[in-house]
Amino acid sequence: MSDTIILEVARFNPESDAEPSYESFEVPLRPDWMVLDGLNHIKDQLDGSLAFRWSCRMGICGSCGMMVNGVPTLTCETLLMNYAPGPVRVGPLDHFPVVRDLVVDLDDFLAKLQKVRPWVVRKDDFKPAREFIQSPAQLESFHQFSLCINCTLCYAACPVYGLDPNFIGPAAIALAHRYNLDSRDQGIEDRLDIVSRHEGIWDCTVVGECSTVCPKHVDPSLAIQQYKLTATKEWFKSFLLPRGKH
Amino acid sequence: MSAGKRSNEPVVWFLFGVGGFFAAYFLPVHVLFYGLLFPSGLVHAPGYQQTLALVRHPLTRLYLFALLTFCFFHAAHRMRLTMSDVLNLRHLNTVLAFLCYGGAIVGTIVTVWLLATV
């Protein structure tokens, strides 16, 4: 087997390029190298102008998501060896505007994330004198959804988000669901106002790619379907009791 | 379904969901018996009079009404979403909704008429 591999990396400079193009680099193929190590080799040794985001190198910061051979991938935990003999095509995440090379603009996602209020919302003056007791079963109900690292791979994988940029999207809905299920939280009504709109859960057609690509094994698709059931129950309740506060 | 207000989609999603249950659990049984086992002679087919008597029973009528109408709405919802997303016809959403759910409503009316007059 060859001891090098070709990385075809997307390049785009908004000041000089009309559209992105791919540039090939030959990098060492080492058994312990991730795709991100290959990119860092390019940046350090071959072309310092290559722009990409990364930070922790251990799959927790969620910065280094890119399209690798067309699949949304966390590059710090994906072996280059998996793509031997190559070439490997690395591009910016789909469905987001490209700032430069492999860096995308996440403003849209961050604005949506804030809208669904992904924190513990209390309606009362919540100042417990001691710790809030939560049973293992109560923790289990939302635990998997709390593992989201906001890497936005699910947005790049979601064909609905590609078609309708207004779609709130998998991660934001999964996180809204995570707080709804938390026994300390009282914000379900506030979130329902945002999430049960057409561009919220109802835009989802259960393609399920979000859950397939998630590097933390969160199941956003499940969250959205559970949310649909909650919203449907609330809809029928408000239909039957139009003036009732429920 | 306009932006900024709660969607009315729960209604069609509810019909879609219940229809999915019928389409997954009950419809295959009918297809198996009436599509394969009876015509191939592997299982003795009930005669016309026997089947007619069964269909005329109120509970059978109720069952067939639920099975068929929910399946119509399940199919309508799936067709609408497939056409709008896969064929990229989102701009025709209102027309598609009218055609698909309209078709399911026509199907429901025909079902009621057939079950009432059989």
pLDDT in tens, A131-154: 889 999 999 999 999 999 999 999
Residues of chain A contacting B, Cβ within 8 Å: 159-160, 163-164, 166, 192-193, 196-200, 202, 205, 228, 231-232, 235-236
Q: What backbone torsions phi and psi does residue A176 show, to the nearest 5 degrees?
A: -60, -45
- pLDDT for the residue B90: 83
- pLDDT for the residue A243: 63
**B10 interfaces chain A, CB cutoff of 8 Å:** yes
Residue B20: exposed, middle, or buried by beta-carbon count in 10 A (0-12, 13-18, 19+)?
A: middle
CA distance B97 to B93: 6
Show the low-confidence residues of chain B (pLDDT under 50). 1-4
A-chain residue closest to B77, CA distance: A205
- pLDDT for the residue B2: 39
Residues of B53-91 as b/e, b for ≥16 C-beta within 10 angstroms?
Answer: eeeeeeeebeebbebbbbbbbbbbbbbbbebbbeeeeee
**B59 interfaces chain A, CB cutoff of 8 Å:** no
AA letter at A233: K
Closest C-alpha among A28, A29, A11 to residue A20: A11
Tokens in use for A43? Answer: 């940046």
A-B contacts at Cβ under 8 angstroms: 43
With beta carbons less than 8 A apart as the criterion, state whether B56 and B48 touch.
Answer: no
Q: A198 contacts in B (CB within 8 Å)? A: 1-3, 7, 9
Residue ranges of domains in chain A, CATH in brackets: 4-104 (3.10.20.30), 107-240 (1.10.1060.10)
With beta carbons less than 8 A apart as the criterion, state whether A21 and A8 touch.
Answer: no
Domain boundaries, chain B: 9-117
Of B5, B13, B81, the CB nearest to A228: B13
Give pLDDT tens digits along chain A (246 positions): 679 999 999 999 999 999 999 999 999 999 999 999 999 999 999 999 999 999 999 999 999 999 999 999 999 999 999 998 989 999 999 999 999 999 999 999 999 999 999 999 998 887 888 888 999 999 999 999 999 999 999 999 999 999 999 999 999 999 999 999 999 999 998 998 889 888 899 999 899 999 999 999 999 999 999 999 988 988 888 878 766 554
CA distance A77 to B21: 39
Q: How far is A219 from chain B (nearest CA, A)?
A: 20
Q: A193 contacts in B (CB within 8 Å)? A: 6
With beta carbons less than 8 A apart as the criterion, state whether A197 and B6 touch.
Answer: yes
- pLDDT for the residue A49: 95
Of A160, A205, A232, the CB nearest to B14: A232
CA atoms within 13 A on the CB side of A57: 8
AA letter at B4: G
Query: Which CATH architecture fits B9-117?
Result: Up-down Bundle (1.20)
CA distance B9 to A232: 8
Tokens in use for A72? Answer: 């949304």
CB distance A235–B3 less than 8 Å? no
CA distance B40 to B31: 13
AA letter at A162: G
Q: What backbone torsions phi and psi does residue A103 show, to the nearest 5 degrees?
A: -95, 125
Give Cβ neighbours of residue A88 (< 8 Å, ≥ 6 apart): A5, A6, A7, A8, A35, A38, A68, A69, A80
> Which phi-psi region, left, alpha or beta, contains residue A244 (left: φ > 0; alpha: ψ -120 to 50)?
beta
- pLDDT for the residue B100: 94
Length of chain B: 118
Q: A231 contacts in B (CB within 8 Å)? A: 10
Tokens in use for A3? Answer: 């001891």
CA atoms within 13 A on the CB side of A127: 1
CA distance A240 to B10: 14
Q: Do the interacting molecules here have an ipTM over 0.85?
A: no
**B24 interfaces chain A, CB cutoff of 8 Å:** no
> Between β-strands A65-68 and A71-74, what pairing exists: parallel, antiparallel or unpaired?
antiparallel
